[in-house]
Amino acid sequence: MARYIFITGGVVSSLGKGLASAALGALLQARGFSVRLRKLDPYLNVDPGTMSPFEHGEVFVTDDGAETDLDLGHYERFTGVSARKTDSISSGRIYTNVLEKERRGDYLGKTIQVIPHVTNEIKDFLSIGDDEVDFMLCEIGGTVGDIEGLPFFEAIRQFAQDKPRGQCIFMHLTLLPYIKASGELKTKPTQHSVKELRSIGLAPDILVCRSEGPIPQKEREKLALFCNVRPDAVIAAQDLSSIYDAPLAYHREGMDQAVLDAFQITPAPRPNLAKWEDVSERIHNPEGEVNVAIVGKYTQLEDAYKSIAEALTHGGMANRVRVNLNWVDAELFEREDPAPYLEKYDAILVPGGFGERGTEGKIKAAQYAREHKIPYLGICLGMQMAVIEAARNVAGVAKAGSEEFDHEKGEKRFEPVVYHLKEWVQGNQRVNRSVADDKGGTMRLGAYDAVLTEGSRVASVYGTQAIDERHRHRYEVDVKYRKALEQSGLCFSGMSPDGRLPEIVEWPDHPWFIGVQFHPELKSKPFAPHPLFRDFVRAAKEVSRLV
């Protein structure tokens, strides 16, 4: 039976609970334990799939098609454990399940209440797969004291009571603000946060304190005394130059040892941190640098492209270079010539997105990369824009565009080289969709197979002709334009197994120009960079004349 670690947050949000959870998972793995990480989000959306990237950052997609919080991306990148639908839950999903059961009559006419019905639903979720791993790490989103989080805090309190003594521990992440005027590190916000936690029946076993610098011994002792934790369970979480330093930094602080001590696991297996030492060495000792432009529409919030940024970092590590990311607003190129902005970059990446805003700028970026032989990687919408650019400027389809933009505008303006995907094969079943469907959870989501053309660049990059990658889209390049586009030189080098859905396009006469309908960034890890990002950065490195 798994041991449970519940990670909560206090004082302010965005302190890095997800990163701390992921790093702890990596440290427990380094000691030989198996782990699974979960995220419980208090918001009332059923999932983040319909939320704006400006609201929530990127939506991370699992192999089995769940749209989840970006923290699950951290979990996968640090542990290598593929997340599942059962690793992410929200208040919206919990309440939906409870109300569906009430409508079916499952509660036998009882009055439905937060306690026990909602809390029981949360506890049932926590119990899924608890016989599969040694440790289950469960992060509670938000901050202690938030009204919407109370059912989750009550549920984990009950859950710990239901389990045998010593089966569950609580880790609380807080902020130690530094008051520059007085030159003091203040512990009072953390004391109040722990007081709030204790008032709802939860007592932290481990205190993780975010700070700009080290925590003096005097402050550690004060925190231990007033928050009722052991002095060696007060863990400093200092600002780091790279998130991939977190496992080593937390190990030096004794986080993994504090966890094992709390569970009374002794003697504890010694950790093997060679993998993370290699990752840190590659991050901090590059042999050069490359400059990559990310031409997108959510560039004001870098978390909207979190997995892409990390995957490029992984590609840089594989090539021993630092990748300097530069965020370029696609709308800029709808007003101005892209050349003065893009000529200084070694490669161009156009990521996914929804809606027409900024797409003409993305098309111009794809055109610039094609004409100037700059390495180009188009992801999801970025591939569709590359195909539209090829149709307009090479294949002679002057009004080429996407059905998505006509649907948004409410009038027909384009010849739909990209159309609304109405049916596809998922496993042994055929899925049917219409434009009138609800927006949530109705896209082509999760891992799907693709077959690569023998001798193509992507087949060479992957080293195989059979791949599976994660998707998140409802619009697709129309295969009926394939012949005209291939006659113009664009190669459809990856297709769905039934040959109906284009997955990858490339320009064979270009040094490196690839568009993919899927999201390769979701599978990249620091110790296992995705092949496409590894080779994309290699191509950028050649352009920068570092080799």
188 has binding-site annotation: yes
15 has binding-site annotation: yes
Which of 56, 74, 471, 519 is flagged as catalytic? 519
The token pair that represents 217 in the structure block: 């011994």
222 has binding-site annotation: yes
Which of 76, 360, 476, 521 is flagged as catalytic? 521
Strand runs (DSSP E) across 331-385, as ranges?
Answer: 347-350, 376-379
Instruction: Count CA atoms closer than 13 A to 402's CA, side-chain side.
Output: 29
297 has binding-site annotation: no
Which of 138, 168, 209, 380 is flagged as catalytic? 380
Q: Are 168 and 123 in contact (CB under 8 A)?
A: no
Q: Any catalytic annotation for residue 521?
A: yes
Neighbour-count burial for 393-417, b at 16+ CB within 10 Å, e otherwise? bbbebeebbbbbbbeeeeeeebbbb
Q: Any catalytic annotation for residue 284?
A: no
Question: Pick from 242, 323, 252: which is nearest to 281 by CA?
Answer: 242
CB atoms near residue 336 (< 10 Å): 12
342 has binding-site annotation: no
349 has binding-site annotation: no
Q: Helices (DSSP H) in 433-525: which residue ranges?
A: 457-462, 482-487
Provide CB contacts within 8 A for 358, sequence distance 6+: 296, 297, 329, 330, 331, 334
Q: Are 489 and 509 in contact (CB under 8 A)?
A: yes
- What CA–CA distance (Å, rounded) separates 202 from 108? 32
200 has binding-site annotation: no
525 has binding-site annotation: no
Instruction: Count CA atoms closer than 13 A to 147's CA, side-chain side.
Output: 1
CB atoms near residue 357 (< 10 Å): 14
523 has binding-site annotation: no
88 has binding-site annotation: no
Q: Any catalytic annotation for residue 519?
A: yes
453 has binding-site annotation: no
186 has binding-site annotation: yes
19 has binding-site annotation: yes
139 has binding-site annotation: yes
409 has binding-site annotation: no
190 has binding-site annotation: yes
Residues facing 513 on adjacent strands: 376
Binding residues for Mg(2+): 71, 139
Binding residues for ATP: 14-19, 71, 240
Binding residues for CTP: 13, 146-148, 186-191, 222
Binding residues for L-glutamine: 353, 381-384, 404, 474
Binding residues for UTP: 13, 186-191, 222
Binding residues: 13-19, 71, 139, 146-148, 186-191, 222, 240, 353, 381-384, 404, 474
Cite the active site residues: 380, 519, 521
